[in-house]
Structure 1
Amino acid sequence: MARELTKVVYKPDSQKSEEYIIIVNPAEYKKWSQGGISIPLSEVVDSFQVFYSTSGNQGLLGQASNQQLENHFGTSKDVDVVEIILKRGKDQPGDAISTQTFMTNATRGSGVIDSKGKGLTGI
Protein backbone atom coordinates (compact mmCIF):
# COMPACT_ATOMS: atom_id res chain seq x y z
CA MET A 1 0.00 0.00 0.00
CA ALA A 2 1.37 3.41 -0.94
CA ARG A 3 0.80 6.76 0.67
CA GLU A 4 1.03 10.13 -1.05
CA LEU A 5 3.80 12.43 0.14
CA THR A 6 4.23 16.19 -0.01
CA LYS A 7 7.14 18.17 1.37
CA VAL A 8 7.04 21.82 2.29
CA VAL A 9 10.49 23.31 1.81
CA TYR A 10 11.60 26.61 3.34
CA LYS A 11 14.88 28.13 2.20
CA PRO A 12 15.83 31.05 4.50
CA ASP A 13 18.55 32.40 2.19
CA SER A 14 18.44 32.05 -1.59
CA GLN A 15 22.26 32.29 -1.76
CA LYS A 16 22.79 29.20 0.42
CA SER A 17 21.76 25.58 -0.05
CA GLU A 18 20.43 25.00 3.47
CA GLU A 19 16.74 24.17 3.68
CA TYR A 20 14.16 23.26 6.32
CA ILE A 21 11.64 20.62 5.35
CA ILE A 22 8.43 19.25 6.85
CA ILE A 23 6.20 16.44 5.59
CA VAL A 24 2.52 17.25 5.15
CA ASN A 25 -0.72 15.51 4.25
CA PRO A 26 -1.40 16.88 0.74
CA ALA A 27 -5.19 17.22 0.90
CA GLU A 28 -5.21 18.91 4.31
CA TYR A 29 -2.27 21.16 3.40
CA LYS A 30 -4.06 22.32 0.26
CA LYS A 31 -7.18 23.22 2.28
CA TRP A 32 -5.06 24.95 4.94
CA SER A 33 -3.06 26.98 2.41
CA GLN A 34 -6.25 28.12 0.66
CA GLY A 35 -7.50 29.78 3.83
CA GLY A 36 -8.62 26.89 5.99
CA ILE A 37 -6.61 28.22 8.93
CA SER A 38 -9.16 26.64 11.30
CA ILE A 39 -7.84 23.17 10.35
CA PRO A 40 -5.65 21.92 13.22
CA LEU A 41 -1.95 21.75 12.36
CA SER A 42 -1.89 18.17 13.64
CA GLU A 43 -4.06 17.21 10.66
CA VAL A 44 -2.01 19.24 8.17
CA VAL A 45 1.45 17.91 9.05
CA ASP A 46 2.48 14.29 9.09
CA SER A 47 4.60 14.99 12.17
CA PHE A 48 6.04 18.05 13.86
CA GLN A 49 9.56 16.92 12.98
CA VAL A 50 11.56 19.57 11.14
CA PHE A 51 14.23 18.25 8.80
CA TYR A 52 17.34 20.13 7.73
CA SER A 53 19.61 19.75 4.74
CA THR A 54 22.70 21.60 3.59
CA SER A 55 22.68 19.93 0.20
CA GLY A 56 19.16 20.78 -0.88
CA ASN A 57 15.98 18.85 -0.24
CA GLN A 58 17.07 15.97 -2.47
CA GLY A 59 20.12 15.25 -0.32
CA LEU A 60 20.40 13.62 3.08
CA LEU A 61 17.94 14.98 5.60
CA GLY A 62 18.70 15.23 9.29
CA GLN A 63 16.59 16.52 12.11
CA ALA A 64 17.15 20.23 12.75
CA SER A 65 18.70 21.00 16.13
CA ASN A 66 17.09 23.42 18.59
CA GLN A 67 20.03 25.80 18.04
CA GLN A 68 19.44 25.86 14.27
CA LEU A 69 15.74 26.53 14.81
CA GLU A 70 16.49 29.32 17.29
CA ASN A 71 18.96 30.94 14.87
CA HIS A 72 16.65 30.91 11.84
CA PHE A 73 13.16 31.18 13.35
CA GLY A 74 13.74 32.86 16.71
CA THR A 75 12.18 29.90 18.51
CA SER A 76 12.70 26.17 18.86
CA LYS A 77 9.03 25.47 19.69
CA ASP A 78 7.98 22.93 17.05
CA VAL A 79 4.44 24.29 16.56
CA ASP A 80 5.71 27.82 15.86
CA VAL A 81 8.47 26.64 13.51
CA VAL A 82 6.10 24.36 11.56
CA GLU A 83 3.62 27.20 11.14
CA ILE A 84 6.35 29.52 9.79
CA ILE A 85 7.52 26.85 7.33
CA LEU A 86 3.92 26.22 6.20
CA LYS A 87 3.37 29.94 5.57
CA ARG A 88 6.73 30.77 3.92
CA GLY A 89 7.70 27.46 2.33
CA LYS A 90 6.85 25.97 -1.03
CA ASP A 91 5.21 22.60 -1.43
CA GLN A 92 6.85 19.89 -3.49
CA PRO A 93 4.61 16.92 -4.23
CA GLY A 94 6.56 13.71 -4.44
CA ASP A 95 6.18 10.04 -5.16
CA ALA A 96 4.22 7.79 -2.88
CA ILE A 97 5.81 6.17 0.13
CA SER A 98 5.61 2.43 -0.10
CA THR A 99 5.08 0.39 3.03
CA GLN A 100 6.24 -2.77 1.28
CA THR A 101 9.49 -4.45 2.22
CA PHE A 102 12.29 -3.89 -0.27
CA MET A 103 15.90 -4.96 -0.56
CA THR A 104 18.41 -2.21 0.05
CA ASN A 105 21.46 -3.94 -1.39
CA ALA A 106 20.87 -6.89 -3.69
CA THR A 107 24.59 -7.72 -3.94
CA ARG A 108 24.68 -8.76 -0.28
CA GLY A 109 22.42 -11.76 -0.81
CA SER A 110 18.81 -12.41 -0.03
CA GLY A 111 19.01 -11.64 3.66
CA VAL A 112 17.50 -15.04 4.49
CA ILE A 113 19.16 -16.91 7.34
CA ASP A 114 19.39 -20.66 6.85
CA SER A 115 18.77 -22.30 10.19
CA LYS A 116 18.13 -25.82 8.89
CA GLY A 117 20.49 -28.24 10.48
CA LYS A 118 24.08 -27.33 9.50
CA GLY A 119 24.97 -26.42 13.05
CA LEU A 120 28.08 -24.40 13.68
CA THR A 121 30.33 -26.49 11.44
CA GLY A 122 28.61 -25.53 8.20
CA ILE A 123 28.87 -21.77 8.70
Structure 2
Amino acid sequence: MTRPVTKVIYKPDSQSTEEFTIIVIPEEYKKWKGGDTTIPLTEVVDSFKVFSSSQGAQGILGLASKQQLDTVFGTHNDIDVVTKILKEGREQGADGIRKGGLPTSLNVTRGSDVPQ
Protein backbone atom coordinates (compact mmCIF):
# COMPACT_ATOMS: atom_id res chain seq x y z
CA MET A 1 0.00 0.00 0.00
CA THR A 2 1.43 3.35 -1.03
CA ARG A 3 0.57 6.46 0.89
CA PRO A 4 2.14 9.88 0.71
CA VAL A 5 4.78 10.59 3.32
CA THR A 6 7.12 13.45 3.93
CA LYS A 7 10.42 13.69 5.74
CA VAL A 8 11.07 16.39 8.28
CA ILE A 9 14.78 17.00 8.68
CA TYR A 10 16.41 18.72 11.63
CA LYS A 11 19.99 19.97 11.47
CA PRO A 12 21.53 20.93 14.85
CA ASP A 13 23.42 23.82 13.25
CA SER A 14 24.14 25.13 9.77
CA GLN A 15 27.73 23.83 9.74
CA SER A 16 26.83 20.30 10.82
CA THR A 17 26.54 17.40 8.39
CA GLU A 18 24.56 15.49 11.03
CA GLU A 19 20.82 15.40 10.33
CA PHE A 20 17.89 13.87 12.18
CA THR A 21 14.83 12.75 10.25
CA ILE A 22 11.30 11.67 11.06
CA ILE A 23 8.59 10.53 8.67
CA VAL A 24 5.27 12.37 8.78
CA ILE A 25 1.86 12.23 7.12
CA PRO A 26 1.90 15.42 4.99
CA GLU A 27 -1.74 16.53 5.42
CA GLU A 28 -1.73 16.12 9.19
CA TYR A 29 1.74 17.68 9.53
CA LYS A 30 0.65 20.78 7.59
CA LYS A 31 -2.39 21.19 9.87
CA TRP A 32 -0.27 20.65 13.01
CA LYS A 33 2.47 23.01 11.81
CA GLY A 34 -0.23 25.57 10.96
CA GLY A 35 -1.23 25.71 14.61
CA ASP A 36 -3.74 22.88 15.09
CA THR A 37 -1.99 21.28 18.04
CA THR A 38 -5.19 19.40 18.94
CA ILE A 39 -4.10 16.77 16.40
CA PRO A 40 -2.42 13.92 18.32
CA LEU A 41 1.23 13.39 17.37
CA THR A 42 0.36 9.75 16.60
CA GLU A 43 -1.65 11.06 13.62
CA VAL A 44 1.10 13.45 12.50
CA VAL A 45 4.07 11.07 12.49
CA ASP A 46 4.31 7.73 10.74
CA SER A 47 6.27 6.42 13.75
CA PHE A 48 8.29 7.85 16.60
CA LYS A 49 11.52 6.50 15.14
CA VAL A 50 14.18 9.16 14.71
CA PHE A 51 16.72 8.48 11.98
CA SER A 52 20.14 10.04 11.71
CA SER A 53 22.76 10.54 9.06
CA SER A 54 26.16 12.14 9.38
CA GLN A 55 26.56 12.28 5.61
CA GLY A 56 23.96 14.94 4.85
CA ALA A 57 20.89 14.51 2.69
CA GLN A 58 22.44 11.81 0.50
CA GLY A 59 23.68 9.69 3.42
CA ILE A 60 22.31 6.39 4.61
CA LEU A 61 19.78 6.74 7.41
CA GLY A 62 20.10 4.70 10.57
CA LEU A 63 18.19 4.82 13.82
CA ALA A 64 19.53 7.51 16.13
CA SER A 65 20.98 6.20 19.38
CA LYS A 66 19.84 7.42 22.79
CA GLN A 67 23.29 8.94 23.26
CA GLN A 68 23.00 10.93 20.01
CA LEU A 69 19.55 12.18 21.00
CA ASP A 70 20.73 13.13 24.51
CA THR A 71 23.71 15.01 23.07
CA VAL A 72 21.76 16.98 20.45
CA PHE A 73 18.33 17.40 22.06
CA GLY A 74 19.18 17.13 25.77
CA THR A 75 16.83 14.16 26.09
CA HIS A 76 16.05 10.85 24.42
CA ASN A 77 12.33 11.07 25.23
CA ASP A 78 10.73 10.31 21.86
CA ILE A 79 7.83 12.76 22.26
CA ASP A 80 10.13 15.66 23.18
CA VAL A 81 12.59 14.89 20.37
CA VAL A 82 9.87 14.43 17.73
CA THR A 83 8.12 17.64 18.81
CA LYS A 84 11.36 19.64 18.46
CA ILE A 85 12.02 18.15 15.02
CA LEU A 86 8.44 18.92 13.93
CA LYS A 87 8.71 22.53 15.13
CA GLU A 88 12.24 23.36 13.97
CA GLY A 89 12.88 20.97 11.09
CA ARG A 90 12.40 21.53 7.39
CA GLU A 91 9.95 19.54 5.31
CA GLN A 92 11.18 17.51 2.36
CA GLY A 93 8.91 15.46 0.10
CA ALA A 94 9.67 11.78 -0.23
CA ASP A 95 8.03 10.19 -3.25
CA GLY A 96 7.91 6.46 -3.63
CA ILE A 97 7.99 5.34 -0.01
CA ARG A 98 5.56 2.66 0.97
CA LYS A 99 4.46 1.77 4.46
CA GLY A 100 7.10 -0.69 5.57
CA GLY A 101 9.90 1.37 4.05
CA LEU A 102 10.46 -0.55 0.81
CA PRO A 103 10.91 1.46 -2.38
CA THR A 104 8.11 1.25 -4.92
CA SER A 105 10.50 0.12 -7.64
CA LEU A 106 13.56 -2.05 -7.36
CA ASN A 107 16.48 -2.41 -9.68
CA VAL A 108 15.79 -5.83 -11.15
CA THR A 109 19.30 -6.08 -12.57
CA ARG A 110 20.61 -6.22 -9.00
CA GLY A 111 18.94 -9.59 -8.60
CA SER A 112 16.75 -8.41 -5.76
CA ASP A 113 14.05 -10.86 -4.83
CA VAL A 114 12.09 -8.49 -2.59
CA PRO A 115 8.43 -8.64 -3.66
CA GLN A 116 6.83 -5.47 -4.94
Give TM-score, length-normalised by structure 2: 0.85
Q: Structure 1: how far apart are the matches of 2:75 and 2:21?
A: 16
Q: In the comparison of the two structures, how many residue pairs are matched? A: 110
> Which residue, 100, 106, 109 being the options, matches 2:109?
106
* Pairing 1:48–2:48 present: yes
Secondary structure (helix, strand or coil) at the match of 1:60 reads: coil
Q: CA deviation at 1:101?
A: 7.1
Q: Structure 1: how far apart are the matches of 2:3 and 2:91?
A: 17
* Pairing 1:76–2:79 present: no
Check whether the contact 1:21–1:57 (CA below 8 A) recurs between aligned residues: no
Cα offsets for 1:48-105 (capped at 9, x unmatched): 0000001113320000000000001010010110000000101111213247875445
> Percent of counterpart pairs with the same letter?
55
Aligned to 1:64: 64
Cα–Cα, structure 1 residues 48 and 100, in superposed 2: closer, same or farther, change >3 Å?
closer
Check whether the contact 2:96–2:104 (CA below 8 A) recurs between aligned residues: no
Cα–Cα, structure 1 residues 107 and 11, in superposed 2: closer, same or farther, change >3 Å?
closer
Q: Structure 2: how far apart are the matches of 1:78 and 1:31?
A: 21
Give TM-score, length-normalised by structure 1: 0.80
Which ranges of structure 1 fall in alignment gaps of 5 or more residues?
112-123
Cα–Cα, structure 1 residues 4 and 101, in superposed 2: closer, same or farther, change >3 Å?
closer
Q: Structure 2: how far apart are the matches of 1:46 and 1:3?
A: 11
The 5 Å alignment of 1:33-44 reads: 33-44=33-44
AA matched with 2:86: L
The 5 Å alignment of 1:7-26 reads: 7-26=7-26
Secondary structure (helix, strand or coil) at the match of 1:2 reads: coil
Specify the structure having the higher radius of gyration (Cα). 1
Q: Structure 1: how far apart are the matches of 2:103 and 2:19?
A: 29
